[in-house]
Amino acid sequence: MLIIVGLGNPGSKYAFNRHNIGFMAVDAIIHRHSFSPERQRFQGLVSEGVLSGEKVIVLKPMTYMNESGRSVGEAMRFYKLTPQDVVVFHDELDLPPGKVRIKTGGGHGGHNGIRSITAHIGENFRRVRLGIGHPGSKERVLGAVLGDFSKAEMKWVEPLIDTIASEAPLLAEGRFNSFANRVHLALNPEPPKEKKQPSRENRPADGRENGDS
Active site members: 19
Strands 39-41 and 44-51: antiparallel
Amino acid at 191: P
Report yes or no: 52 and 169 within 8 Å, Cβ to Cβ.
yes
Amino acid at 39: R
**N-term to C-term CA, the chain:** 65
CB atoms within 10 A of CB 41: 15
d(CA 73, CA 63): 12
